[in-house]
Amino acid sequence: MSHLIGELSPPVRLLCGTGPTNPDPRVLRAMGAPVLGQFDPAFTAIMTDVMELGRQVFRTVNPRTFAISGTGRAGMEAGIASLVEPGDRVLVANCGRFGDLFVDLATRYGGIVSQVTAEWGKVIDPQQIDAALQRTRPKIVAVVHGETSTGMLQPMLDEIGRTCRRHEALLVVDAVVTLGGMPVDTDAWQIDLGSAGTQKCIGCPSGMAPITYGARAEEVITSRKTPIISNYLDLAQLQRYWSPERLNHHTLPTSMTYGLHEALRLIVNEGLEARWTRHQRTGDALKAGLEAMGIQLFGDPKHRLPMITAMMLPEGVPDEEGRARLLEEFGVEVATSFGPLRGRIWRIGTMGYNAELRTVLTVLTALEHVLRSFYARVPRGAGVDEARRVYERAAS
């Protein structure tokens, strides 16, 4: 017997995991605008704006800058699916779960994959990549700019880009967590293809994957000997859909496109440097607050992401029960990790609209209460006081 289901009424949460994050209210308002047909001139003008705004945020002049209809993973897979032919050699810089994902994707599309690796919580030395390039002569080098699973930032992408050019390899970069929160200098770093996701520092709900690629990548995509296996993620077709040709490939998600348009507009209007500074300042305050509480941070301190802070769980604090208590009592979401780090660290995101002192103070207050409820030794108020001091000092 059927029964009525009540009106949708999800609870309000402070989303401080690794994505999604709370969007700016202006993004949500934009998503409620009237739906247009995909070839309505008013809508194709919005698509053109998204491309131009995307170029500014990616810091590129690439004509092929648009968005994949799908999550950040769809952007990564579109790049690999469209560039890799069976038998192509692919080198992956792997020090976390999303390095593993590049390995999986390249293997699925027939690539012969080799890896340079580092322990989770560390980063890849560019000299490792140089040596591996000389040894394996790959067509593609895949690098994760911000390894969300560990909270680590891969340094010296400019050097890696120069190395790839010297060896005539394409550089493919996952910038899912970094785009919109810190510099991603596509042209200066000689990134051949970069992809991101909307649900992190861009500050939009999950559902689209900004992507950009230059002439070298486009030449590989359009001169393949074999068809691109995926139709949906075929960049050769998608670039025609986003061009004046308007190839009828699929129906772009109208409301998500509105949201991405507004999110990118807000980034550009704030100013890239100002936005990067805001993310760095907020992340520094959170890290200082956690350390003042006696909490150990995870990973190489020289290479920590500003927008994802990985903290070690104090002894005696259970992972799932602790996160559930944060969610139920304070409405604060934080994330665990994967593989060897699951149950050992929590990852706290301060991204987009949430990259503010108010977020840090709320999270630290909730953490103090929850950790003390499990008898962890946490000094009262120390985290909040230190976070505020560090945040305000950065403004002076």
Cα–Cα nearest to 305, from 192, 146, 164: 146
Burial of 225: CB neighbours in 10 Å, binned 0-12, 13-18, 19+: exposed
The position carrying tokens 């980034």 is 267
> What whole-number distance in Å separates Cα of residue 228 and Cα of residue 329?
49
Q: Is 347 labelled as part of a ligand binding site? A: yes
The DSSP string of 341-352 is GTTTEEEEE--G
Name 209's bridge partners: 68
Q: What is the spatial distance between Cα 50 and Cα 191, in angstroms, rounded to a whole number?
A: 20
CA distance 170 to 114: 15
Backbone angles phi, psi at 86, to 5 degrees: -50, 130
**Which of 26, 5, 15, 78 shows the shortest CA–CA distance to 269?**
26
Instruction: In whole angstroms, give the CA distance from residue 152 to residue 177.
Output: 11
| Phi, psi angle pair for 102, to nearest 5° | -60, -40
- C-alpha 81/C-alpha 214 separation (Å) is 16
Non-local (6+) Cβ contacts of 285 within 8 A are 357, 360, 387, 388, 390, 391, 394
Q: Which residues lie closer than 8 Å to 71 by C-beta, 6 or more apart? A: 197, 199, 206, 207, 208, 209
How far is the CA of 346 from the CAs of 223, 309, 341, in angstroms? 45, 8, 9
Query: Annotated binding site, which residues?
Result: 347
Query: Annotated binding site for substrate, which residues?
Result: 347
